[in-house]
Structure 1
């Protein structure tokens, strides 16, 4: 049976099919640019640490896959018809085989356990980040997931934006995240980090951009019909460019009050364009939280 199986795998039609599949794969991948991959070319220390962890995981997997592939090819050649292999089924006292079967997985488990412990603390999203710049003060932003757009509130600046997150380059970005809809997931792959946004709860994420640029952020948790268009632009700007952008937002005619927020929170059927609000109701973020954690108090105070 083993010989028939090996012979079937190495038959001419199947080999031609394998070759055709590999050719199609190369054609598809030819349009991909590794330089544009945020996972391989991160733009912040958090994403760089995540890339390091990913490479460690790939190395561990290859220590398993490469010997398995090599032994598979060796067995196919040695035990083929006319090969030098012999059938010796008495393996009950094979020390070498048992060391390989049990020792390999044990080493892998120890390595994985070490990586889990070390990188769990290193990539703690609540952990303040160490920066080497003139301004180390965290830049606070409150993010609210809606159907199907992102609202960003800048509590220190008194402004808000839709589907555009702008912050100073090389300054720690301190995000406070919640949802005014179903559970979603916040992620900017180029900067690292993925954390859930849940109604009535807050999660925190600290990020830094090493260089100026525009990055894509998105919701990575399926959340309904408009899920594909729930993405936003994250822009890290130098100080002068950030001040210019801030002046543009403060000159906007729209103001985010309770009535306007109700309109904004309605589900959109297509991608929601970028929108600026020159002012925002004080404590709007906490009022959104209160709708779920203490609705009776929020209604009594007339919030939202």
Structure 2
């Protein structure tokens, strides 16, 4: 074996050993592939389906590539026939175009199905609670409109209850992400995006900022704690009884750029704070369908009923009965 070839093999094994040692520090749990709720479970299944479907194409292609490179390598002892003339084969054309088209169609079906399903409450039997999320520089603020409490860099939710997150930002565009509970959703100034998440069982989960937003981006992390409903209710009572109220001045201090590693809790917050943040940069866009989905649905049904009643030829007396 030549010295150059031995050196290349040595480099390869050294790099392989280094990769093994360094990657072993990542731990046994990969958060994205460790679903702890129905939303994350649906997304996990979609990932697995996508991997399998892609492997049906990629594995044979890589195997054929390796075979062709070896079979037709340019060496003196290789006796593979050399036929540089082009030829058409209908069967092969159908195979290598038909199979990818079928796979893409199957993948598209599952993707569209799950995308629409994930926009809805994952547990129709349980009424969701609402939590408003505001991305600041460089911290996360959570307001609970039903409980009238607020937290910073800390999120507590009841296990087994779907949570309807309304997400916005009073800072550069960001991304709200709790990998073990579901995918990320963007936080944008002047807009309110929405995301449903649910923790099946009590536990602690890591939350992250998944979009680069400046100097303190790496420190925009928060802890998510899921507890049984009775313990969650006790926590709410404790917050309301032992912490100060958030004033407008407190919020003005919070939104100033700066890293905040500690957690904060408030027994109340200014009424309509989240709506005010969204409307401040919305430039007239209607966000009612996100911030008040039930009212928006009722309004839509009323408008549709009004449109139908005005259609020519419609028997209005029957509609009234």
So what's the TM-score if we normalise by structure 2? 0.80
Instruction: Verify: 1:276 aligned to 2:270, yes or no.
Output: no
1:110 maps to which residue?
Answer: 105
1:56 aligned partner = 49
Write the distance in 1 (CA, Å) between the matches of 2:15 and 2:102: 35
The CA deviation string for residues 128-162 of structure 1, in whole angstroms up to 9 with x for no partner, is 22256xxx121111111111111111111111111
Residue 287 (structure 1) aligned with residue 276 (structure 2)? yes
Using the alignment, how far apart are the partners of 1:131 and 1:24 within structure 2?
A: 49
Q: How many residues are paired up?
A: 280
- In the alignment, which residue of structure 2 is the partner of 1:302? none
Instruction: Tell me how far apart the structure 2 counterparts of residues 214 and 123 of structure 1 sit (CA, whole Å).
Output: 22
Pairing 1:13–2:7 present: yes
Contact 1:184–1:196, Cα closer than 8 Å, also in 2: yes
8 A contact 1:166–1:236 mirrored in 2: yes
TM-score normalised over the length of structure 1: 0.84
Aligned with residue 159 of structure 2, among 169, 178, 183: 169
Aligned ranges 1:250-265 → 2 under 5 Å: 250-265=240-255
Shift of 1:168: 0.7
Shift in Å at residue 96 of structure 1?
4.5
Aligned twin of 1:198:
188
1:210 aligns with 2:200: yes
CA distance in 2: counterparts of 1:63 and 1:74, whole angstroms: 17
Partner of 2:308: none
The offset of 1:77, in angstroms, is 3.2
Does structure 1 residue 71 correspond to structure 2 residue 72?
no
- Unaligned 5+ residue runs, structure 2? 285-321
1:255–1:278 contact (8 Å) kept in structure 2: yes
User: Does the 8 A contact of 1:252 with 1:276 survive in 2?
Assistant: no
Give the Cα separation in 2 of the matches to 1:232 and 1:250: 21
- In structure 2, how many angstroms separate the alpha carbons of the residues matched to 1:290 and 1:188? 26
- Match status 1:149 vs 2:139: yes
* C-alpha displacement of 1:294: 6.4
8 Å CA contact 1:131, 1:170 repeated in 2? no
